[in-house]
Structure 1
Amino acid sequence: MTPVLQMDDVVKRYDGGVHAVRGVSLTVEAGELLAVVGPSGSGKSSLLHLMGALDRPTSGTVRLLGHDTAAVDDRRLSAMRATWIGFVFQQFMLIPHLTAVDNVAAGLIYLGAPPAARTRLATAALRRVGLGHRLDHRPQEMSGGEQQRVAVARAIVARPPLVLADEPTGNLDSAAGEGVLSLLRELHDEGTTIIIVTHDNGIADALPRKVEVFDGRIRFDGRASEALT
């Protein structure tokens, strides 16, 4: 089976000679749940941008479902992101004046879904994350945990094979954060491939696979328990 994500000897270098990613090779198979963990400045954010086709490598290859992200034009790359990847960000990124349904439905505009279908699918996604009672609420009318659940619903509304969660609990208290992590585990149990990018080793240690990044390189890749031996 084709991996969901495959990175081969990937380098990302910015102007001024800054090496954010240094020769990273990483394969993520369908149905995996893993954390990419590292301190601030370790290169994990640059790695996230490459994984999510938000940026292209300076050298090396990034493949999404077998497709080289550097070999397609910007329009095709945007379509790949919209269809194959759901993003969850620390800051929620919700539109303040829109209801939960409309925030989730907005992500389907790029896929060409008609308005009625967008509303139906957005409603189903919100119910899936336990927010069927918040459909018409705006972000300021919801708690932080509820807003992040709306963000998760937006990420999964098109049922992408891969969800990238960037510090998804960073702005939440411990109870709300655990709720979001439980939701991501449920989505994984249903077959979605989940990559959580975090600085929190506690989160990483609780997942089946842990990838430690430091100074732009992977220094550990395996089960969290193996990193402690």
Structure 2
Amino acid sequence: MTEMITASQVGKVYRGGVPALTDVSLTVRKGELVAIVGPSGSGKSTLLHLMGTLDTPTSGTVRVLGLDLSEVSDGTLSAMRAHWIGFVFQQFFLGATLSAVDNVAQGLVYQGVPRGRRRRRAAEVLDRVGLGHRLDHRPARMSGGERQRVAIARALVADPAIVLADEPTGNLDSASGAVVLDLLHQLNREGTTIVVITHDTDVADRLPRRVRIRDGAVVADSAAVSGGAG
């Protein structure tokens, strides 16, 4: 299977000598749906930021789709984020004055796609996540679960190879969270490689591969137990 993300002996130390990650090695392959689970402060969000080209490691190597992130230009990193990687966060980061379709269409602004085509593509993806009937609704008229599905649609609008989701159910009730997890499973079955960061072991246990992280180190990986890679 194709290696989508590879972290090799990665360390991250923040200003003041505070270590966030220590010697982390992890491979995510094409078509996987992976939970990275750990308590607050364990380093899981730091790892996601490194995998998503939002930050750089202090030591070790991160590769995304075969590219060593330390060897590519800032322009290439920006292009990777625009075309290859979709992000979903616990905070939805939706424009309060924008409709659902315009919030999603923003995901194509930096690709130079004409406005009309952006909106058509956004409508298609909103329909894919079950919100074809909410195109003109603003966030204030939507439930938390619907807003998170808009955020997922925005992450998908550029048809990325990888989706990185940081606590995507963290602000949702259990029923809405279950809908979002079902959607992530559906998207994964359709071919999207997905990594979910969570502190919730119940959420992690619903995903096929679970990587547990504590104090900046990987302490367990269900793929290793089952004979897979990681």
- Runs (5+) with no aligned partner, structure 2: none
* Partner Cα distance (1:95, 1:51) in 2: 26
Query: What is residue 15 of structure 1 aligned with on the other side?
Result: 15
Helix, strand or coil: the match of 1:126?
helix
Tell me the amino acid that sits aligned with residue 191 of structure 1: G
Query: What is residue 45 of structure 1 aligned with on the other side?
Result: 45
Question: Normalised by the size of structure 1, how large is the TM-score?
Answer: 0.96
- Runs (5+) with no aligned partner, structure 1: none
**CA deviation after TM superposition for structure 1 residue 72, in Å:** 1.4
Query: What is residue 194 of structure 1 aligned with on the other side?
Result: 194
Alignment of 1:176 onto 2:173: no
Alignment of 1:62 onto 2:83: no
* Partner Cα distance (2:182, 2:205) in 1: 15
**CA deviation after TM superposition for structure 1 residue 2, in Å:** 3.6
Q: Kindly report the root-mean-square deviation, in angstroms, between the aligned alpha carbons of the 2 structures.
A: 1.3
Helix, strand or coil: the match of 1:108?
helix
Q: 1:204 touches 1:224 (CA, 8 Å); kept in 2? A: no
Tell me the amino acid that sits aligned with residue 89 of structure 2: F
Query: What is residue 123 of structure 2 aligned with on the other side?
Result: 123
What is the CA deviation profile of residues 127-147 of structure 1, one whole-angstrom value per residue up to 9, with x for unaligned ones?
A: 000001100010001111100
Query: What is residue 165 of structure 1 aligned with on the other side?
Result: 165
* Partner Cα distance (1:88, 1:137) in 2: 20
What is the CA deviation profile of residues 125-166 of structure 1, one whole-angstrom value per residue up to 9, with x for unaligned ones?
A: 000000011000100011111000100100111110101111
Helix, strand or coil: the match of 2:164?
strand
Tell me the amino acid that sits aligned with residue 61 of structure 1: T
* Partner Cα distance (2:204, 2:191) in 1: 19
**CA deviation after TM superposition for structure 1 residue 188, in Å:** 0.3
Tell me the amino acid that sits aligned with residue 93 of structure 2: M
* Partner Cα distance (2:146, 2:140) in 1: 10
* Partner Cα distance (1:206, 1:142) in 2: 26
Tell me the amino acid that sits aligned with residue 18 of structure 1: V
- Which residues of 2 match residues 96-175 of structure 1 at below 5 A? 96-175=96-175
What is the CA deviation profile of residues 95-128 of structure 1, one whole-angstrom value per residue up to 9, with x for unaligned ones?
A: 1011000000001011111111101110000000
**CA deviation after TM superposition for structure 1 residue 224, in Å:** 10
Question: How many residues get paired?
Answer: 226
Tell me the amino acid that sits aligned with residue 30 of structure 1: K
Over 4 Å off, 4+ runs:
223-226
